Structure 1
Amino acid sequence: MFLFKSSQHHDGNDPIQRDAKVKELKVALGPLSGRNAKFCTDACLRRYLEARNWNVDKAKKMVEETLKWRDAYKPEEIRWHEVAHEGETGKVSRANFHDREGRTVLIMRPGKQNTTSAEGNVRHLVYLLENAILNLPEGQEQMVWMIDYTGFSMSTSLSVRTARDIINILQNHYPERLGIAVLYNPPRIFYAFWRAVKYFLDPKTSQKVKFVYPKNKDSAELMRSYFDVENLPKEFGGNATLEYDHEEFSRMMAEDDVKASRYWGFDDKPSYAAQGCVTRDITVQSILPSGHSKAEVAPEPF
């Protein structure tokens, strides 16, 4: 349950003015090379400006902090074989379908938490965020989170401290990446955790969170507006079957590791999963995106 922080207001909607802001930010950052230049696309700079209300100075500081973090943490160098043990239960995985807007979907299952390592959980999630971004269609900057609370308990939940640490990374280094977060059938016990985590989120981010419940008319309408329900997994109110296969998912991630290496300009880090060193046990039925309608956010149940 970790979301992306973003701004509450915008400095006008004039495309020409915003293009000028992007150019101004480019000049302010100065010459960039290597991975920094690859990272700082116009679309990327727009997200940072959006997150800082189109204030160039604040956006510049935010970008520079991210570049420092990426240089130290090297998220683009994380490989599946390094984090595969965190994903054995399918607690976080990338679906092989998109929403109606073509956004990459990450499926989360808090009830399948299988480790207690704060750093391991963070590194696993960062890997999958980078992978989700790698698989965004051209022109799309955001992703979708679908969170299934089957089996959730406080004993399987991450600590508030770990959640806070993850939120700090996401809000500072992945601004404006979240399109929608679907919280499917969270139990009453979850609300205490949600209130604690929500404290660290800004209001605009909170508004992207949709509480969805089985056999609820508003929830069903909400899901139909964002997804092809005929292919949506049953766990989220659809008709398709969702089965996590760790070996199949590992093969898919190994292939994406090769794509990531090529994208970032290095091919010298082997993918051991591709060489057969996969663990056990995702993928869901393929869903083709169609339509572009939306529905109002379902109100929070408290």
Structure 2
Amino acid sequence: MFSRRRQSQNPQDIDSTEREAKVSELRAEIGPLSGRSSQFGTDACLRRYLVARDWNVDKAKKMLQETLKWRAAYKPEEIRWNEVAHEGETGKASRANFHDLCGRTVLIMRPGKQNTSSGEGNVRHLVYLLENSILNLGEGQEQMTWLIDFTGWTLNTNISIKTIRDIIYIFQNHYPERLAISILYNPPKFFESIWKAIRYFLDPRTTQKLKFIYPNNKESLEFMKSSFDVENLPTEFGGKATLQYDHEEFSRLMAQDDVKTAKFWGLDDQRPRKITNGAFQG
């Protein structure tokens, strides 16, 4: 007779002892990891995959194996800024120079500044920024905050639903539990119809992390004040700082971070690279 692995019906009922046992069980199921993949065998990484799959070891194992397969093919850690810099010329997505009050890295997205029509280019650019944001997480931090500003966004600057779907798929399946909260700031009325399509691709855990914020709403303003230092928060989001994207300065910062990335992954960053158009634990 084959025994069936017992899985708790309610993730909330799993105590700390059982959770640690599941981390050990998942590690045993995955087996030894070598090379770059060894970064995904840490307790913290395995725990994130288990949380994403409600502590179901079989599902977490499948999810992690798919991530390792994706990374082996896509090689996100090898993307360098010079390959995606053209996608960021307008500042449509960048890592902020401030953190939220929890000390988390903040990734600012401004879809109204969309500047290309390349679906793969947009995806690759965002994957680069995800890798970079994770690399720059503070000590003890595992998650980041997304601040999405809809100022100036129109249907003409919107990327395709397919590209949005691809981004959501990659983030949900290959960067589990990396998102603490995503703040959708001042979305226009017509976003509602697009939201219905986007929501279809989101799992409930991700949906719970989305917060709609409106500048004329008292509750929204209080939320922003409770989440960010208003002295550092740009005026666009109700703060007192100035948000002025400088592409040359950001490019210099990313070039420096590329050196850190190469060192972290043990890569020889002097090798030739193909220019395309288009602290880290998994």
- TM-score of the pair, normalised by structure 1: 0.84
The amino acid that maps onto 2:246 is D
The amino acid that maps onto 1:182 is I
**Residue 178, structure 1, aligned to residue 173, structure 2:** no
Write the distance in 2 (CA, Å) between the matches of 1:178 and 1:144: 6
Is the deviation greater in 241-250 or in 40-49?
40-49
**Tell me, which stretches of 5 or more residues in structure 1 are unaligned?**
1-8, 273-302
**Residue 252, structure 1, aligned to residue 232, structure 2:** no
- TM-score of the pair, normalised by structure 2: 0.90
Write the distance in 2 (CA, Å) between the matches of 1:215 and 1:94: 26
The amino acid that maps onto 1:124 is H
Write the distance in 1 (CA, Å) between the matches of 2:153 and 2:269: 40
Aligned 8 A contact 1:103 1:136 in 2? yes
Is the deviation greater in 187-196 or in 151-160?
187-196
Q: Deviations over 1:201-259 (max 9, x none)?
A: 12221121111111321011100111111221001111111110000000000111000
**Residue 227, structure 1, aligned to residue 228, structure 2:** yes
Q: Which residue of 2 aligns with 1:49?
A: 50
Q: Which residue of 2 aligns with 1:295?
A: none
Aligned 8 A contact 2:89 2:247 in 1? yes
Q: When you count helix as a share of all residues, which structure comes out higher?
A: 2
Aligned 8 A contact 1:258 1:267 in 2? no
Aligned 8 A contact 1:257 1:271 in 2? no
Write the distance in 2 (CA, Å) between the matches of 1:193 and 1:131: 28
Aligned residues: 264
Write the distance in 2 (CA, Å) between the matches of 1:101 and 1:79: 29
- Give 3-state SS (helix, strand or coil) of 1:243's partner: coil
Q: Aligned-pair distance for 1:13?
A: 4.4
Write the distance in 1 (CA, Å) between the matches of 2:51 and 2:142: 12
- Give 3-state SS (helix, strand or coil) of 2:13's partner: coil
Q: Which residue of 1 aligns with 2:80?
A: 79
- Give 3-state SS (helix, strand or coil) of 2:97's partner: strand
Write the distance in 1 (CA, Å) between the matches of 2:13 and 2:132: 32
The amino acid that maps onto 1:55 is N
Equivalent residues in 2 for 1:286-297 (5 A)? none
Write the distance in 1 (CA, Å) between the matches of 2:85 and 2:272: 11
**Residue 212, structure 1, aligned to residue 201, structure 2:** no
Q: Aligned pair in 2 of structure 1 residues 98, 13: CA closer, same or farther (>3 Å)?
A: farther
Q: Which residue of 2 aligns with 1:153?
A: 154
Aligned 8 A contact 2:259 2:269 in 1? no
**Residue 187, structure 1, aligned to residue 191, structure 2:** no
Write the distance in 1 (CA, Å) between the matches of 2:243 and 2:38: 39
Q: Aligned-pair distance for 1:190?
A: 1.5
Aligned 8 A contact 1:153 1:190 in 2? no
Write the distance in 2 (CA, Å) between the matches of 1:173 and 1:229: 33
Which fold has the larger relative contact order, with Cα–Cα distance below 8 Å and residues 6 or more apart in sequence? 1
Write the distance in 2 (CA, Å) between the matches of 1:260 and 1:270: 14
Q: Aligned-pair distance for 1:270?
A: 6.1
Aligned 8 A contact 2:232 2:239 in 1? yes
Equivalent residues in 2 for 1:36-115 (5 A)? 36-115=37-116
Q: Which residue of 1 aligns with 2:127?
A: 126
The amino acid that maps onto 2:181 is I
Q: Which residue of 1 aligns with 2:276?
A: none
Write the distance in 2 (CA, Å) between the matches of 1:145 and 1:255: 23
Q: Aligned pair in 2 of structure 1 residues 36, 270: CA closer, same or farther (>3 Å)?
A: same
Q: Which residue of 1 aligns with 2:278?
A: none
Write the distance in 1 (CA, Å) between the matches of 2:270 and 2:20: 37
The amino acid that maps onto 2:36 is R
- Give 3-state SS (helix, strand or coil) of 2:155's partner: coil
- Give 3-state SS (helix, strand or coil) of 2:264's partner: helix
Q: Aligned pair in 2 of structure 1 residues 19, 271: CA closer, same or farther (>3 Å)?
A: farther
Q: Aligned-pair distance for 1:94?
A: 0.2
- Give 3-state SS (helix, strand or coil) of 1:266's partner: coil
Write the distance in 1 (CA, Å) between the matches of 2:261 and 2:67: 19
